[in-house]
Structure 1
Amino acid sequence: VWGSLWPTLFPYGIGMFEDRIHRTQGLGLRHINLKSHVKHYLSLTDQRFQKHTSFMFVMMNIIQRRTSSYQCRLAFKRSWFPKVTSALDKINTLGLSELISKLKKDPHVKPDNECETAAFELLRYVQYVSNDISGSTAEVHAMWEEIRSVIRSRGLPQLYVTINPADFHNPIAQVLAGRDINLDEFFDKVEGNTEAFIRARTFAENPVVAARFFKLIIDAFTGILLGHDRPDKVGIFGKVDSYYGVVE
């Protein structure tokens, strides 16, 4: 299936994701989960996966859908257990299918039978928990709890910092994207009036570079400036007891 999606990326039909055929032929191949496999391809030197126009977006969509399907659960308070079980007993597959059809036509539809009433009542008590889905509301709530835990154990933060790396104007980012630039020369190979266009095109062709550059800058800030990676743990603000960061 993967080879049919991107024949130019897998021209020989090998190296595809979840390849059960080659793993069962006694070649000593081992299973690699989909997320790790995609991450590996996006870090290759030749950058053909990074520069593909649809590969990373399609795979991101598939990974998020799998995560939402396999790693989510329903949760409710213990005191609501009798109400939840009572509502579940009144719900059936046929009634849910009819309710879904009605909701597609009118999102503000009101229940008109016992099954639909029970389904709406169930939504009041049951929460959809999805902590492992990146960017989900559950992940945001989990980060709130982590921040509260840090404040309770370490006290209020003494410093708030917002970091916005200028990747578009940074020669390091251009080197990561594959441009041949001498970083020891401040204005090496600046193309005059077309330089801004070249930089923009470079990032548009390879968005993975922007993510790699962002991580590089953040790691340098926490590891060197804050001193997290130093042996004595002392940075420009002294010895940092703890820090917490999120990406917008």
Structure 2
Amino acid sequence: MDHLGKNKLPPNALAQGLWIGDIPDELKDLRFAEKLLIAQVRHSRCLVKVASGRYKMKANIMYFSNPIDKIYDILPPGKDELDEMIAFMFTGPSKPTPEQLRDMPLLVRRAVVKRALEWLKLNHKDYQDIISDENLSSYEEEAVPVAYEYQQQEFNKDTLTSGINEEIEDEGTGSGPCPVSVHGLTGEDFGNMTSHEMCAAALKHLKENKKIILFVAHDEKSVLTFHNPSLFPMMYPHLFPYGFSGINNSMQTSKIGQTAHKRFYLMYHDKHFQFDPSFSIIAFNVEQMKQSNDSGFIITHCKNIDNIADHIRNIDSKVLDDMYIQFKNKERVVPANKQEKSCLQLIHDVDAAASHVQGSVTSKKYMRNDIWSLINKIGSPSWFITISPADFNHPICLYFADVDQEYKPEI
């Protein structure tokens, strides 16, 4: 009411470029691979693991972020492009049957893809003259277009997320499309490294490749990740059917911020953003990339940037190799000479930039230090709550996830 009283549009008004539109039938119930085939922008690659038990089947997906987002001029991409995007593993007591392949998220139905692309061409503002009949005809009428690796396994129950007294039984569904869950987005080699290990590895690479800082074997045409209103509508056309409501779009008279805009997506009334298995993770990853980019920009404008540059230029490769091995072996590193102190100081300088990135190893380390400092000052908590082995088995978690779980605490 305050904004209307001042003759201004409220920040959350649909006229502020927040209108999305209803999802048409042509874009509903698309399989995972079909969504990839109609997307103009590719942000990541993925490993898809389909686990079959005796009666049920489920799918897990792990995303790997691309250094540069890729944009396609024609859709669907060729089958060789799909092989670059997806690695497929199947586990079960036997190899998949034709019926099981039809229930997998990697099933591609050519007629469904064609119908979706034709609708987008007529209605989405970023889709014009994009359909390649040649590429489309290279896909079978109804088949999984990527090869799979098979590994024999009797059950598909994950022991890490099973209760202590829980009976081993199959997870997933026995008929129809198998459920899909995304388990995270990560770099290929850095998932289990500490912050010091990652910094040391990066500095080691920088020192060994003095001229080659970054080389990406990728298509020469890329798309801007930041300050690009069309990024998410082109990456998720099945969520933005008309191509509107991009972040920082030109219709916004008052900026609402990227984080607030993504919160608007996730709180959308029909929850189609929440139900998409990858949107929230990719949106968070873009946020992390922006925070990392901003932190690096701040460091380059610090007064001690010349000292940091001198440290990198004059660093001793042998000392850095030794420290990298020590960090990799989880050993405590105590600098014994000037060169080791210089290497450690450089690692701390790089570490400082990562502390501003949500979810980074460094930010978790700083949070852990804050907790220990708080305990040291006011004492340890009188009681702890431990949810083991997985929080999604806890009744409170199930209750807030709105799965019709009746929760009656008995105290």
**TM superposition score normalised by structure 2:** 0.29
State the structure with bigger RCO (CA 8 A, min sep 6), 1 or 2: 2
Whose strand fraction is larger, Structure 1's or Structure 2's?
2
Whose helix fraction is larger, Structure 1's or Structure 2's?
1
**TM superposition score normalised by structure 1:** 0.45
